[in-house]
């Protein structure tokens, strides 16, 4: 006898996708376990387990968000730049590994690496004093870049004219 | 580029990280937000690159099994897509048949694993004309379903859909095609016109404008030139569209051939500016009528009505049958032997001609011809387009016109030519055709009557060819 089947609400189902479990991502997560243990011992391992569980059950972005909150727990209040870079490295590598699971995505991986480096560098360089301008800047620059890519695609496909062709 | 709910979910995650970073005054959460946005941008860049490459390299084809069909025919269309490059997107290609075509939705998909796909589907063409396919709709989505882009790519074949009308029409007598145009008429009178007729001596009262100066100089006396007088002949067209005219394959029924003849006659009348009236005759009686008139609007109206004629349906008690005319009945009655009880009982039925008169008056074609010829003052030319099913009724209809000193032109669609599509015994078809030909000749021998057969040319040729080995052609 089968019981009632439970299904996700439609809006959840359309926004949910599975993380891509591949050899690259798995290797990065094993490396991250070592890093977490080195940073906070058993607490670090628990945080790592939470991240991995999220990674397996939810989209990759959810595990990145959980990892950021986990880093708040395992890192000291004012960590050194080197420590932050080391702690964020597995997250960046996880994102890149996920992207590289796609076919012909190495260029996308390069772009992601560059953008990640710029993001981390700018945030760390500006420091704690200008959090709100940094927050606005991150969202604004991200939105603008996304819009420009959108326009670029439309011009490439010939769906809109670029500035040079407008009389 | 369209973004999906998944995209917005990701953006919400990034914004929440920013919010908590500001709220908790922790830089690490802002770094997390930056990474999420960087990941989104990288995914978007990857999608833009994939879509651009697919736009350049994707091969999409729509191929039709035929480029020319008749109305309501079904054709096969093959939609194929090939991605010659390695890509990470999912590509769905949907065919875009013309609006006038009917088909199920057809699409095929290629992805990173499969770079070639093909599907074949059926298309029905209910409307005549030339139609062009739109370019297939190509929808590209990224592997995570964050973005999608729709574009039009590929070939646009065209299809010519021809109406189901007879193409090879035979109008003739005994299998011989009539070459002269039907509808021209000789008046036998002279007067003013365009066609020169004769030169005669000038008599007082003639207009000086009509003097032929060349003839006057040559003959040394004033002469005037006469021309063929142009007159208008009132024509009544009777088109039978009863159930018996619906025999034959779709688009090549008796009525389809009769319709083409009727349309040609209307066009001819318009060219000659002849006043034309018409009657459409269905199983229930007259279905359309117009009094004789001229004018483009009048001819156009008749043309449109003829084009929309369809065979009517006959009731169970209206199955046409060959019935005896009064002359035939009297002849048979005379042959009966009054000595036998059977004959003496049967004789009154043959002699009761009043029932025959009542029956004939109820026949729709007869009724229409009687009304139509009475409607016209003076000489009328009746053109009857019908088949050979109701022969007695046709004979009587012709008689009615003759009583008015009218001229009758009959276009007959021999049933055997239309029924013979399903028959394999061509000899039997020929026998039936010969019997029809006797009937046509009988009509044509009547004074003031011309009778022609109308049918598919290839069928006529086939039937006549069947008779040649036996020397009957």
**What's the confidence (pLDDT) of residue A166?**
44
Cross-chain Cβ contact A88/B46 below 8 Å: no
Q: Is the C-alpha dihedral spanning A101, A106, A108, A113 positive or negative?
A: positive
- Chain B residues in contact with A134 by the CB 8 A cut-off are 30
Cβ of residue A85 closer than 8 Å to a chain B Cβ: no
Run of H or E residues at B130: strand B129-132
Contacts of B30 in chain A (CB under 8 A): 123, 131, 134-135, 138
Q: Which of A152, A65, A58 is nearest to B55 (CA)?
A: A152
Q: What pLDDT, on the 0 to 100 scale, is given for residue B467?
A: 67
Q: How far is the CA of B251 from the CAs of A127, B125, B170, B307, B369, in angstroms?
A: 85, 15, 15, 13, 27
Please determine, for residue A54, whether its predicted confidence score (pLDDT) is greater than 50.
yes
Are the Cβ atoms of B51 and A153 closer than 8 angstroms? yes
Give the ipTM.
Answer: 0.84
What's the gap in Å between the CA of A33 and the closest CA on chain B? 19
Q: Which residue, among B460, B466, B287, has the nearest Cα to B368 in the 3D structure?
A: B287
Q: Which residue of B has its CA nearest to A153?
A: B48
> What residue has token string 């011809």?
B369
Stronger pLDDT, B323 or B87, i.e. the higher one: B87
Question: Which region among A41-50, A148-157, B162-171, B388-397 has the lowest average model confidence (pLDDT)?
Answer: B162-171
Q: Please answer yes or no on whether A150 and B55 come within 8 Å at the CB atom.
A: no
Q: Give the pLDDT of residue B473.
A: 40
CA separation for the pair B12, B18 (Å, rounded): 10
Question: Stretch B435-448: mean pLDDT, rounded?
Answer: 90
Residue of B nearest to A121 (CA): B31
The Cα–Cα gap between A153 and A160 comes to 9
Interface membership of A135 toward B (CB under 8 Å): yes
The whole-number pLDDT of residue A108 equals 73
A16 band by pLDDT with thresholds 50, 70 and 90: low
Interface test with B, best of A11, A77, A111, A137 (most B CBs within 10 A): A111
The H or E element that residue B387 is part of is strand B380-387
pLDDT in tens, B11-57: 988 899 888 888 888 888 888 888 888 888 888 988 998 898 888 88
pLDDT at B352 over 70: no
CB contact under 8 A, A116 and B33: no
Q: In this predicted structure, what is the pLDDT of residue B318?
A: 47
The whole-angstrom separation of Cα B348 and Cα B437 is 33
Cα–Cα distance measured from residue B58 to residue B54, given in angstroms and rounded to the nearest whole number: 5
Output b/e per residue, A72-105; b: 16+ Cβ within 10 A. bebbeeebeeeebbebbbbbbbbbbbbbbbbebb
- Please give the angle made by the CA atoms of B406, B409 and B414, to the nearest 5 degrees: 145
Identify all chain B residues contacting A92, using CB atoms and an 8 Å cutoff: 35
Q: Do A146 and B41 touch (CB under 8 A)?
A: yes
- Average pLDDT of chain B to the nearest whole number: 82
Cβ–Cβ under 8 Å, residues B460 and B170: yes
Which chain A residues touch B32 with a CB distance below 8 Å? 64-65, 67-68, 71, 91
pLDDT of residue A134: 82
SS3 B467: helix
Q: Which two tokens stand for residue B28?
A: 């690490």
Question: Comparing A38-42, B63-67, B239-243, B310-314, which segment has the lowest mean pLDDT?
Answer: A38-42
The pLDDT tens digits for B101-119 are: 888 888 888 887 788 889 9
Higher pLDDT, A109 or B67: B67
Kindly indicate the confidence band of residue A11, based on its pLDDT and cuts at 50, 70 and 90.
Answer: low
Residue B259 and residue B282: Cα distance in Å, rounded? Answer: 14
Q: How far is B108 from chain A (nearest CA, A)?
A: 20
Condensed to tens digits (0 to 9), the pLDDT of residues B181-240 reads: 455 555 455 555 556 667 888 888 888 888 888 888 888 888 888 776 655 568 899 999
- B145 pLDDT above the threshold of 50: yes
A61, A92, A149: residue with CB nearest B10: A61
């Amino acid at each position: 006898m089968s019981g009632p089947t439970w299904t996700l609400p439609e809006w959840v189902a359309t926004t949910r996708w599975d993380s891509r479990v591949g050899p690259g991502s798995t290797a990065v997560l094993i490396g991250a376990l070592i890093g977490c243990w080195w940073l906070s011992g058993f607490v670090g391992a628990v945080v790592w387990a939470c991240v991995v569980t999220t990674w397996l059950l939810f989209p990759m972005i959810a595990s990145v968000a959980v990892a950021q909150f986990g880093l708040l727990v395992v890192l000291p209040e004012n960590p050194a730049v080197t420590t932050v870079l080391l702690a964020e490295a597995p997250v960046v590598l996880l994102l890149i590994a996920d992207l590289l699971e796609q076919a012909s995505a190495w260029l996308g991986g390069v772009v992601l690496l560059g953008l990640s480096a710029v993001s981390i560098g700018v945030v760390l360089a500006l420091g704690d004093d200008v959090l709100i301008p940094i927050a606005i800047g991150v969202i604004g620059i991200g939105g603008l870049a996304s819009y420009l890519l959108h326009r670029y695609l439309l011009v490439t496909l010939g769906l809109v004219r670029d500035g040079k062709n407008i009389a | 580029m369209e973004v999906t709910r998944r995209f917005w979910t990701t953006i919400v995650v990034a914004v929440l990280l920013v919010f908590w970073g500001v709220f908790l005054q922790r830089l690490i959460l802002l770094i997390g937000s930056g990474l999420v946005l960087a990941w989104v941008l990288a995914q978007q860049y990857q999608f833009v690159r994939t879509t651009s490459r697919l736009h350049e390299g994707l091969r999409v084809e729509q191929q039709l099994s035929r480029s020319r069909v008749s109305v309501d025919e079904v054709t096969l269309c093959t939609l194929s897509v090939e991605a010659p490059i390695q890509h990470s997107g999912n590509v769905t290609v949907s065919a875009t048949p013309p609006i006038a075509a009917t088909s199920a939705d057809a699409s095929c998909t290629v992805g990173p694993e499969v770079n070639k796909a093909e599907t074949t589907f059926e298309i029905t063409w209910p409307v005549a004309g030339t139609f062009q396919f739109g370019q297939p709709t190509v929808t590209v989505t990224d592997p995570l379903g964050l973005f999608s882009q729709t574009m039009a790519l590929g070939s646009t074949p065209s299809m010519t859909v021809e109406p189901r009308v007879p193409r090879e029409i035979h109008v003739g007598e005994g299998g011989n095609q009539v070459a002269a145009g039907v509808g021209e008429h000789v008046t036998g009178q002279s007067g003013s016109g365009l066609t020169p007729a004769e030169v005669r001596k000038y008599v007082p009262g003639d207009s000086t404008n009509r003097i032929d100066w060349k003839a006057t100089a040559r003959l040394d006396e004033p002469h005037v030139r006469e021309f063929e007088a142009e007159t208008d002949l009132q024509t009544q067209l009777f088109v039978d569209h009863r159930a018996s005219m619906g025999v034959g394959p779709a688009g090549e029924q008796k009525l389809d051939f009769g319709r083409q003849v009727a349309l040609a006659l209307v066009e001819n009348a318009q060219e000659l500016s002849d006043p034309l009236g018409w009657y459409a005759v269905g199983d229930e009686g007259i279905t359309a009528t117009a009094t004789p008139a001229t004018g483009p609007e009048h001819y156009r109206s008749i043309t449109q009505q003829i084009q929309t004629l369809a065979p009517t349906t006959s009731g169970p008690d209206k199955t046409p049958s060959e019935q005896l005319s009064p002359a035939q009945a009297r002849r048979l009655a005379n042959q009966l032997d009054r000595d036998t009880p059977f004959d003496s009982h049967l004789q009154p039925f043959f002699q009761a001609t009043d029932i025959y008169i009542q029956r004939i008056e109820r026949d729709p074609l007869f009724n229409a011809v009687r009304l139509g010829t009475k409607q016209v003052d003076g000489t009328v030319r009746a053109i009857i387009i019908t088949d050979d099913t109701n022969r007695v009724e046709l004979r009587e209809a012709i008689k009615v016109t003759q009583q008015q000193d009218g001229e009758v032109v009959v276009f007959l669609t021999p049933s055997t030519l239309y029924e013979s599509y399903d028959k394999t015994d061509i000899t039997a078809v020929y026998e039936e055709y010969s019997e029809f030909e006797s009937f046509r000749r009988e009509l044509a021998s009547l004074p003031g009557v011309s009778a022609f057969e109308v049918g598919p040319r290839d069928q006529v040729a086939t039937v006549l060819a069947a008779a040649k080995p036996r020397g009957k052609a």
